[in-house]
Structure 1
Amino acid sequence: MQKKTAKIVVVGSINMDLVVKSEHIPIAGETVTGQEFVMIPGGKGANQAVAAARLGAQVEMVGCVGGDSFGKQMLEQLSNEGVGTSYVITESQQTTGVALIQVQDGENRITVVPGANASVTPEHVENAREVFKGADILLVQLEIPQETVMRAVQLAKRHGLKVILNPAPAADLPAEIWPFVDLVTPNETEAAILTAGQAITSDQSDILNELRSLTKTDVIITQGEKGVSYHINGSSGSFPAYRVHVMDTTAAGDSFNAALAVWHGEGLPLEQSIEFAAKVGALTVSRFGAQTSLPTRQEVELFEGT
């Protein structure tokens, strides 16, 4: 029997990543000599869209780019990856979002300038409502205005989609959003903010219970090399991270979320989807860059890991 193709809508950010690798990240007032500079397509929304497409999903992107050369490059990149861009609008008076990423020993620090991402409005989402019809899952993050995120999750629920909210970058969220969310996927830092610091002083079972109590949703907390902890369908558990040489952690969370959406959209229970998502995350961190690091479906299926 042929597997079902997951149909995924991604509402989110589109950035050009300006990446600098150096032996150490400078402190205030310090200048260091970098080892490498590259420009790589990125943005949490675009990363998740491309990752899902490479994993075999049918993907539609809703977002905004500027009227600059970066905007043209990002539209071309998405189209080349098979991502639908009919509802990616160009704001000619805006610059495309950029992220300055400093990488040292595989770890990164990121500064994001939203640019045109701030122009993704609730009206823009409403105008894209056709792509929600017949889709399986909405993936949404927090690099666009919160009122737009709210409209997206409401529209998704109106059309029967499951909603995966990746609350990144970390932010306080209104209680009104949670009835429209099926799964929330913070990392440890984001979990701490969502639970007002609870995650800093408590063990994982307490964090999961706190988030579950707060959100009334299923919860998956990503913990880097420590793997993931989850509370799904009333049961809690954990899954270890695959051991790989970490080159760059950029887009690890994005690829993990995309993989969850793809396998769950194909009909696999969330608990089983985590195993594939962990493989995707491991492959991503073993490579450099955002979209340049995202694996294909075949690579994931061939990856055994330890």
Structure 2
Amino acid sequence: MNLIAIGDNVVDIYQDRNEMFPGGNALNVAVLSKQYGAKKTAFIGIIGNDVEGEHILRSLKQNQVDTSLIRIAEGESGKAYVDLNEEGDRIFIKSNKGGIQSKLKLRLTEEEYGYIKNYDVLHTSIYSHLDEELQQLKSILPISYDFSNHFTEELLEKVCPHITFAFCSGSHLSDHEIEELLMIIHRLGTPNVIITRGSLGVVMSSKNKRYSQGIIKANVVDTLGAGDSFIASYLTTHFNGLSIELSLEIAAKNAAKTCEVNGAFGCGKQLIG
């Protein structure tokens, strides 16, 4: 299978380690899908002309992700600062709100729409500012969309009619609220809904048929990127022809492995000073 991801990218700056790691939902899914067996992956996004942007670009190339359509713009790349809390879990401290990519809207050209046709699935996210393009993109290929935990009614109504896979973070929701969310997203037109629930595992509804998957134990070092790993693994195995049940199981295993390394996929770089 071939996967293309469009949108958000950052460097996660680990203050306790004085080290930065490439990240961002769309970028992570492109890299991890390639690691999990995709024949080809590509990433389209906007990065800054700074040291962080250079590191993002270099990391993508090292992981054999096609970067030919990335835009490099004058300004800061996206930066998110993270640290450890008293329990040893990673917590977000601050960010520059996406840097230059939040100031410039990514507009796809007709040539790029033609290029996208070479892929089996497109993944994007709430942070990717691609919502206006979804209606046109859905006529080309299936779309996967990560809502994180920010799925407002207005956003769901705007996005769900155009996507095939909806991923949501729902560890804060009750069983009743999970069921309501599944039904709302289906009613708006999305056939496949996957809700991650932290230690409670994953609930999936495919055309109103329910599936569940528990978590896999791991020697946790860093939980950042685990959700992105799950998405990348599920999409890759699913489009490689595996069953829903097996795809969910493999995705849970890969998410656990991601928790055992710093960053979503490594590629750390020490900061100067």
Q: Which range, TM-score by smaller chain?
A: 0.7 to 0.9
Q: Distance in 1 between matches of 2:145 and 2:246?
A: 19
Relative to 1, partners in 2 of residues 1:169 and 1:62: Cα closer, same or farther, differing over 3 Å? farther
SS where residue 135 of structure 1 aligns? coil
Q: Distance in 1 between matches of 2:225 and 2:58?
A: 20
Q: Which of 185, 191, 200 is the matching residue for 1:226?
A: 200
Q: Which of 122, 133, 140 is the matching residue for 2:124?
A: 140
Letter of the 2:249 counterpart: E
Q: Distance in 1 between matches of 2:8 and 2:192?
A: 24
Q: Which residue of 1 aligns with 2:44?
A: 62
CA deviation string 1:220-267 (max 9, x = no partner): 111122110111132112111111222211001111111111111212
Letter of the 2:95 counterpart: V
Q: Which residue of 1 aligns with 2:271?
A: none
Letter of the 1:170 counterpart: H
Aligned Cα root-mean-square deviation (Å): 2.3
Q: Please say if 1:42 is aligned against 2:23.
A: yes
SS where residue 34 of structure 2 aligns? helix
Q: Which residue of 1 aligns with 2:72?
A: 90
Q: Please say if 1:109 is aligned against 2:91.
A: yes
What is the count of residue pairs matched by the alignment? Answer: 261
Q: Which residue of 1 aligns with 2:215?
A: 241
CA deviation string 1:164-209 (max 9, x = no partner): 11113625315132121111110116xx7xxxxxx35736444433
Q: Please say if 1:264 is aligned against 2:238.
A: yes
Relative to 1, partners in 2 of residues 1:135 and 1:16: Cα closer, same or farther, differing over 3 Å? same
Q: Which of 3, 6, 24 is the matching residue for 1:11?
A: 6
Q: Which residue of 1 aligns with 2:56?
A: 74
- Structure 1: any 5+ residue segments left out of the alignment? 1-5, 22-35, 193-198, 294-306
Q: Distance in 2 between matches of 1:244 and 1:284?
A: 9
SS where residue 65 of structure 1 aligns? strand
8 A Cα contact 1:20 1:37, kept in partner: yes
Farther off after superposition, 221-230 or 164-173: 164-173
SS where residue 68 of structure 2 aligns? strand
Matched-pair identity in %: 25
Relative to 1, partners in 2 of residues 1:237 and 1:164: Cα closer, same or farther, differing over 3 Å? same
| Alpha-carbon distance, 1:124 to partner | 3.4
What TM-score do you get using the length of structure 2 for normalisation?
Answer: 0.86
8 A Cα contact 1:9 1:131, kept in partner: no
Relative to 1, partners in 2 of residues 1:225 and 1:81: Cα closer, same or farther, differing over 3 Å? same
8 A Cα contact 2:12 2:23, kept in partner: yes
Q: Which residue of 1 aligns with 2:256?
A: 282
Q: Please say if 1:20 is aligned against 2:20.
A: no
8 A Cα contact 1:106 1:246, kept in partner: no
Relative to 1, partners in 2 of residues 1:268 and 1:201: Cα closer, same or farther, differing over 3 Å? closer
Farther off after superposition, 238-247 or 109-118: 109-118
Q: Which of 170, 179, 182 is the matching residue for 1:188?
A: 170
SS where residue 27 of structure 2 aligns? helix
Q: Which residue of 2 aligns with 1:195?
A: none
Q: Which residue of 2 aligns with 1:251?
A: 225
Q: Distance in 1 between matches of 2:190 and 2:27?
A: 28
Letter of the 2:68 counterpart: S
| Alpha-carbon distance, 1:64 to partner | 0.7
SS where residue 39 of structure 1 aligns? strand
Q: Distance in 1 between matches of 2:122 and 2:110?
A: 14
Would you tell me which structure has more helix in proportion to its own residues? 1
What TM-score do you get using the length of structure 1 for normalisation?
Answer: 0.78
8 A Cα contact 1:178 1:217, kept in partner: no
